[in-house]
Amino acid sequence: MKAAFFKEHGGAEKVLYDDYRDPVPGPDDVVVRVGACGLNHVDILLLDGRFPPPEGLPHVNGCEVTGTIETVGAAVRGLARGQRAIIFPGFACGRCEYCVRGERTVCVKYGYLGAHRDGGYAELVKAPAANILPLPDAISFEAGAALPMAMLTAWHALVAKAELRPGQTVLVQAAGSGVGSAAIQIARLVGARIITTVGSDDKTEFARSLGAERVVNYRTHDFVEAVRTWTNKRGVDVVVEHIGGETFEKSILALTRLGTLVTIGSHDTHWGRLDLRHVYSKNLRVVGTNLGSILELRTILDYVTEGRLKPVIDRAFPLENARAAVQYVLDRKNKGKVLLVP
Ligand SMILES: [Zn+2]
């Protein structure tokens, strides 16, 4: 098959498009012919070596995949060649203490598609049959490929972790990102009010169209000041943070008493300072989260089918132009998801 892969770490120039070993399914696996694959910031970390692929190089990125089932392992029941599929990207052992508690995303052997195994920047990809959900006919491959990481992570962060309620206020960092554009919609669906940040004024209208009430350009305005003004000095109930560094540090200052910051990524830096006085004196919660459950992904598919959540797609690149697609994400040109289509 053809795939876009890398043999050494670096920037977009390290992404090669060439022949690559075909995936060989085990008895409990299926091979999916990729219809579309979403790009994520974790792809950049895998590529540049900040999060080197655990299985070593060469490596194929790509954790958000839709397509049609091509081959079914000998022990797989209930799935057949030709079915439309979406792959739930998280792998868990099902047996460790945390899996038994139902918290599979913190499995001691947790891994995910495109990181711990080759992913979907390819014509074919292998996944356990247990990770396959049917992709409803109403959802295109492209739309589906925008859901499994960004939409699912944002859903789990807001609904499960922050327990967001109608009428609460939320600060969503980076409306132009996949996670940001998803979080705004989900917060709106819950009935919350949203303030969000953008890095350029041309993304303001986009953020409003998703449901944000107030949009702040963080390059020209202080978002903490903007939150104070917007909430009459109260602060927001919830922050969705995925940038790290100064953004993380200042996000804590945007919270009201008893507020919750959910950290779901570290796109700029893995480090962030915390003014502990705010955390203890205001009884804040700082909560980490990582993906969500396959059941939550199924719920999201239902909402997307009904048109109540819309995957936000910036553009799709042909698979052979993966290098350009990666550069496009690195340049932060995107408003919503960037996809590869074989
Ligand atoms: Zn486990």
Residue 101 one-letter amino acid:
R
| Residues 136 and 187 reside in one and the same domain | no
> What's the gap in Å between 7 CA and the centre of ligand 1?
30
> What's the gap in Å between 198 CA and the centre of ligand 1?
37
Q: How many domains does the chain have?
A: 2
Burial class of residue 9 (count of CB atoms within 10 Å of its CB; 0-12, 13-18, 19+): middle
| Residues 37 and 106 reside in one and the same domain | yes
> What's the gap in Å between 132 CA and the centre of ligand 1?
18
Please check whether residue 297 lies inside any domain of the structure: no
Please check whether residue 105 lies inside any domain of the structure: yes
> What's the gap in Å between 102 CA and the centre of ligand 1?
9
| Residues 228 and 142 reside in one and the same domain | no
Q: Is the alpha carbon torsion for 271, 114, 337, 181 positive or negative? A: negative
Is-contact 70 124, C-beta < 8 A?
yes
C-alpha 132/C-alpha 125 separation (Å) is 12
Please check whether residue 280 lies inside any domain of the structure: yes
| Reported confidence tier of residue 93, pLDDT bands at 50, 70, 90 | very high
| Residues 142 and 8 reside in one and the same domain | yes
Please check whether residue 301 lies inside any domain of the structure: no
| Reported confidence tier of residue 336, pLDDT bands at 50, 70, 90 | confident
Is-contact 194 187, C-beta < 8 A?
yes
Q: Could you give the dihedral angle defined by the CA atoms of residues 289, 175, 9 and 88, in that order, rounded to the nearest 10 degrees? A: 50
Of 255, 273, 288, which marks where a domain is finished?
Answer: 288
> What's the gap in Å between 128 CA and the centre of ligand 1?
15
Q: Which of 80, 67, 89, 43 is nearest to 144 (CA)?
A: 67
Please check whether residue 304 lies inside any domain of the structure: no
Please check whether residue 293 lies inside any domain of the structure: no
| Reported confidence tier of residue 335, pLDDT bands at 50, 70, 90 | confident
Angle at 149 between CA 133 and CA 201, to 5 degrees: 140
* Residue 256 structural domain: 150-288
> What's the gap in Å between 53 CA and the centre of ligand 1?
20
In this prediction the pTM is 0.92
Which CATH number characterizes residue 55's domain?
A: 3.90.180.10
Look at residue 176 and tell me whether its pLDDT is greater than 90: no
| Residues 81 and 120 reside in one and the same domain | yes
Peptide bond into 58 cis (omega under 30): yes
| Residues 193 and 273 reside in one and the same domain | yes
